[in-house]
Amino acid sequence: MNYLRTISAVVKKDLLHELKSREIVVSMLLFSVLTVVVFSFIFEPGSEFKNRVVGGILWMSVIFAGLLGLNKSMMSEVDGGNFSALMLAPVDRSAIFFGKAISNFLFMTIVEAITIPLFMVLYNVNIFNTGFLPLVVFFLGTYGFAILGTLFSIISVNTRTREVMLPLLLLPVMVPVILASVQALNIYVLGNDVVESYKWLKLLAVFDIIFTVVVFAVFDFIVED
Amino acid sequence: MKIQKILDIFAVLMVCVALYFAFIFAPSEKVMGAIQRIFYFHVSSAWIAFFAFFVTFVFSILFLIKQNYLFDDIAESSAEIGILFCTIVLITGPIWAKPAWGVWWTWDPRLTTTTILWFIYAGYLMLRKFIDEPDKRARFASAVGIIGFIDVPIVFFSIRWWRTIHPNVVQEGGGGLHPDMTKALLISVFAFTVLYAALLLKRTHIASLTRKIDSLEG
């Protein structure tokens, strides 16, 4: 019970902070929409070819915006010494970690909720052609991204180069999530049989479960001081 | 000191033996000819790269449990050797692929996984360079060493579902390798393993000396 209370306290703190400053979500949102617009220059607008690549474009804009947001969210913790204070609190440290991960997840979800409809209008595609499975893809993919992204952002802001390290560490490890999400989205956009996408959904779920357990196991060890 | 010397000499000898087996003893492949001989070093390097990253994984866990900095030194040294051999794999692969497949590169699961592997551990080594405090460096690097290695099979399976054309020569039943080729391959793998052990011992020795000097200066 205490564990869940700690998580919700951290999430509440982050949401309150974000509600006052609006720095993270607004910069992420601008960036993801900008990526969507800039990517439209790589092919003839309105060509049929676009249906094969839009899934990738949408997902990459979310990933890039996520990298930006993760750095921002963790920098504000470290700069004011807030993170050290959280670590000194007499609570389970992994609860603090999952609190941070959930708030990062929520920030990304807000950004997606605005980017996806805008994207569908700008590219004239309907990713919900075959039902609401794309929401499952975004849920599982964003969770996987948030859980490892939060851990790597803690590591990254503690280096001399600060935010530079995060994409270098996170992107290669995220390959299964990126690949599975993009492949699944492509299936929905092209209107193929949704059964083909189940293996990708399973892969995302397995990734999420494995790394939730791994992070839970190692987090206490790596922030010891 | 002594064991290092013995290993060094043994590694040099074994590499010479492996060269003999790869270039003279093993028969030429019917279709590909001499170019196929790169296979012995390509596969051996791939084995060492994966093994080295596995060693990094194991010693990262051991470090987090025991907090002994020798384990961190071993993890770092092994990752460095691993990336060296991973680079060799990524260079010898295209040299063979161009005449055999007609292209330098293809997005096959093993090629792509090896590339991703390279990036994960390049990130790992960069991370180590960018953290000055030894205890922080060891703890954070261990986390990346553990997560990176667990990620590798997931990367592999995700890409395999996506596409595959890499030849499967070491499946059950030998997969069409001539017995002499198998011998040459095994000897080459053994030689590279000895070389790896010799390099690891040396590199770990250097890492612990560096740590000693840093603590004296600090």
What band does B142 get if pLDDT is binned at 50, 70 and 90? Answer: very high
Angle between helix B134-162 and B38-66 (nearest 10): 130
Query: What is the rounded average pLDDT for all residues in chain A?
Result: 90
Nearest-CA distance A218 → chain B (Å): 7
The reported pTM is 0.91
Decide if pLDDT at A58 tops 50: yes
Chain A contacts of B140, Cβ < 8 Å?
A: 155, 158, 222
B201 domain residue, yes or no: yes
Decide if pLDDT at A48 tops 80: no
Q: What is the pLDDT of residue A225?
A: 60
Mean pLDDT of B105-116: 87
CB B49 within 8 Å of CB B117: yes
- Residue % of chain A over a pLDDT of 90: 60
For A132-191, what is each residue's pLDDT tens digit?
899 999 999 999 999 999 999 999 988 988 778 999 999 999 999 999 999 999 989 888
How many whole angstroms separate alpha carbon B43 and alpha carbon B86? 11
Q: What is the pLDDT of residue B44?
A: 94
CB B210 within 8 Å of CB B65: no
Q: What is the pLDDT of residue B157?
A: 87
Mean pLDDT of B97-108: 85
Q: What is the pLDDT of residue B168?
A: 59
Angle between helix B179-217 and B38-66 (nearest 10): 40
Chain B contacts of A168, Cβ < 8 Å?
A: 119, 122-123, 126
Mean pLDDT of B90-95: 92
Containing structural domain, residue B188: 38-217
What's at B134, amino acid-wise? P
Mean pLDDT of A69-88: 87
B160 domain residue, yes or no: yes
Number of separate domains in chain B = 1
What's at A214, amino acid-wise? V
Residue B33 in 3-state DSSP? Answer: strand
Complex ipTM value: 0.91
- Residue % of chain A over a pLDDT of 70: 98
Q: What is the pLDDT of residue B4?
A: 87
Of these ranges, A22-26, A120-124, A206-210, the one predicted with the greatest mean pLDDT is A206-210
Count of CB atoms situated within 10 Å of the CB of B20: 13
Comparing A22-26, B91-95, B137-141, B177-181, which segment has the lowest mean pLDDT? B177-181
B70 domain residue, yes or no: yes
CB B118 within 8 Å of CB A150: no
Query: What is the rounded average pLDDT for all residues in chain B?
Result: 89
Q: DSSP assignment of B140-205, as one string? A: HHHHHHHHHHHHHHHHHHHHHHH------TTSTTGGG--HHHHHHHHHHHHHHHHHHHHHHHHHHH
B28 domain residue, yes or no: no
B10 domain residue, yes or no: no
How many whole angstroms separate alpha carbon A2 and alpha carbon A93? 12
Decide if pLDDT at B174 tops 50: no
What band does B169 get if pLDDT is binned at 50, 70 and 90? Answer: low
For A15-34, what is each residue's pLDDT tens digit?
999 999 888 999 999 999 99
CB-based contact (8 Å) between B143 and chain A? yes
Q: What is the pLDDT of residue B66?
A: 93
Parse chain A into domains and list their residue ranges: 2-222
Comparing A56-70, A108-122, A164-178, B30-44, which segment has the lowest mean pLDDT? B30-44
CB-based contact (8 Å) between A56 and chain B? no
B167 domain residue, yes or no: yes
CB-based contact (8 Å) between A213 and chain B? no
Measured CA to CA in angstroms, residue B154 lies from A60, A62, A104, A200, B158 at distances of 20, 22, 24, 12, 6
Chain A contacts of B126, Cβ < 8 Å?
A: 165, 168
Nearest to B121 by CA among B93, B96, B155: B155
What's at B190, amino acid-wise? F
B15 domain residue, yes or no: no
Question: What is the Cβ-side half-sphere exposure of residue A115, based on CA atoms within 13 angstroms?
Answer: 31
Helix (H) or strand (E) holding A192: none
Decide if pLDDT at B177 tops 80: no
Q: What is the pLDDT of residue B164?
A: 54
Subunit contact B116:A175, Cβ cutoff 8 A: yes
Q: What is the pLDDT of residue B180?
A: 86
B4 domain residue, yes or no: no
Decide if pLDDT at A105 tops 80: yes
For B7-46, what is each residue's pLDDT tens digit?
999 999 999 999 999 888 888 877 777 888 888 999 999 9
Residue B29 in 3-state DSSP? Answer: strand
Q: Which two tokens stand for residue A103?
A: 């708030």
Nearest to A215 by CA among A141, A162, A146, A137: A146
Phi, psi (5° rounding) for residue A132? -105, 20
